[in-house]
Amino acid sequence: MSSLPLITPAGDAIRRTFRVILSGDPNGEPPWVRAIGAPGDAGWFGPGSATWEVNGSLATLVGGPRALLLQACHPLALAGVEQHSTYRTDPLGRLQRTNLYVTTSTFGSSEQAEQTAAMVRRVHERVSGTAPDGRPYSAQDPRLLLWVHIGLTDSMLVAYQRFGRGLVDADQYVAEMGQLASALGVENPPTTVAELAEAFNSFQDEIAGGPDARAVARFLRFPGRALPVGAWGPYEVLVRAATDLLPDWAHEALGTSARPAAVESVDSAVCATTLRALQTILGPRSRAVELAYRRLGIDPDATPPRTTERFR
């Protein structure tokens, strides 16, 4: 594969749209991305880590929607999203803020990752209320933080295992992501795939569907004008793949349904082709990853990474 992106007018338009969606900047280099190149250490993980492998893959474009769908399966987590999030009126802004946290904590220096985690904790201080069923909730509740964390970790890992380009130590990834979780207030996050499965099992009595969960699922799957028109087709491909990767209990809660195996196989093939096309258009790595390598004095082309990196 060429180390350069595909240079055509259409390719340039796609790159700009993609970067605006994920970072809010047509060049893919808002201030928080530029800061990743500032002098500093290797960060919480560094090159060769499972987290750089997984969180740097274009498969995160499938893992992200799946994580949001799983989050909606918990009534208290869903209440926080509905009452405090701008995902309906400003879905791209919410996506960009999530992208900022994951990217900075993965590829930034330790100082940058800690600063970003502190910023998220301050936001969580303001997120509390009462769910429609009368129960109180707080984004600082370690139990809810655990739910969001395991949904994110499992989704990124499952998406990478289906669409990533290399092999990754799944237990190592779960353990490393636990550092992100601990920084946000999760108590005793899982450190192995087996512990991750146990954590999900511990929530089975708390998972519930209903009209609100189904409404969120519909919006996430069919956001319409919330996305630029040119992104509708690729997004539909990605979110179909994300939905196919949901467990049965999530389908039940969200009012979605598992598709026949033959249809899922087609969805998977189309998604893989879409990701390869994006890779060709966008180039081998994002500006954030390039700056992380530069911060460490490493030439990423001298020792090619085992997988593709996410693009901003």
Task: Summarize pLDDT for 160-199 with one digit per residue, the tens.
Answer: 999 998 899 999 999 999 999 999 999 999 999 999 999 9
Q: Is 31 inside any structural domain?
A: yes
How many domains in the chain?
A: 1
The answer to whether 100 and 279 have CB atoms below 8 angstroms apart is no
Q: Is 98 inside any structural domain?
A: yes
What's the confidence (pLDDT) of residue 6? 55
Residues in the chain with pLDDT values less than 70: 1-10, 28, 91, 303-312
Q: Is 307 inside any structural domain?
A: no
Provide the domain limits for residue 94: 9-295
Q: How far apart are CA 147 and CA 152, in angstroms?
A: 9
Q: Is 99 inside any structural domain?
A: yes
Q: Is 268 inside any structural domain?
A: yes
The full 3-state SS of the chain, as one line of letters, equals CCCCCCCCHHHHHHHHHHHHHHHCCCCCCCHHHHHHHCCCCCCCCCCCCHHHHHHCCCCHHHHHHHHHHHHCCCHHHHHHHHHHCCCCCCHHHHHHHHHHHHHHHHHCCHHHHHHHHHHHHHHHHCCEEECCCCCEEECCCHHHHHHHHHHHHHHHHHHHHHHCCCCCCHHHHHHHHHHHHHHHCCCCCCCCHHHHHHHHHHCCCCCCCCHHHHHHHHHHHCCHHHCCHHHHHHHHHHHHHHHHCCCHHHHHHHCCCCCCHHHHHHHHHHHHHHHHHHHHHHCCCCHHHHHHHHHCCCCCCCCCCCCCCCCC
The tens digit of pLDDT for each residue in 63-89 reads 999 999 999 999 999 999 889 887 777
Q: Is 308 inside any structural domain?
A: no
State pTM to two decimals. Answer: 0.90
Q: Is 188 inside any structural domain?
A: yes
What's the confidence (pLDDT) of residue 286? 79
Q: Is 2 inside any structural domain?
A: no
What's the confidence (pLDDT) of residue 1? 39
The answer to whether 258 and 250 have CB atoms below 8 angstroms apart is no
Question: Over pLDDT 70: what percentage of the chain?
Answer: 93
- Reported for 65-68, long-range contacts at CB under 8 A and 24+ positions apart, including other chains, are 65/220, 65/238, 65/239, 65/242, 65/243, 66/155, 66/158, 66/159, 66/242, 66/243, 66/245, 66/246, 67/151, 67/152, 67/154, 67/155, 67/156, 68/216, 68/220
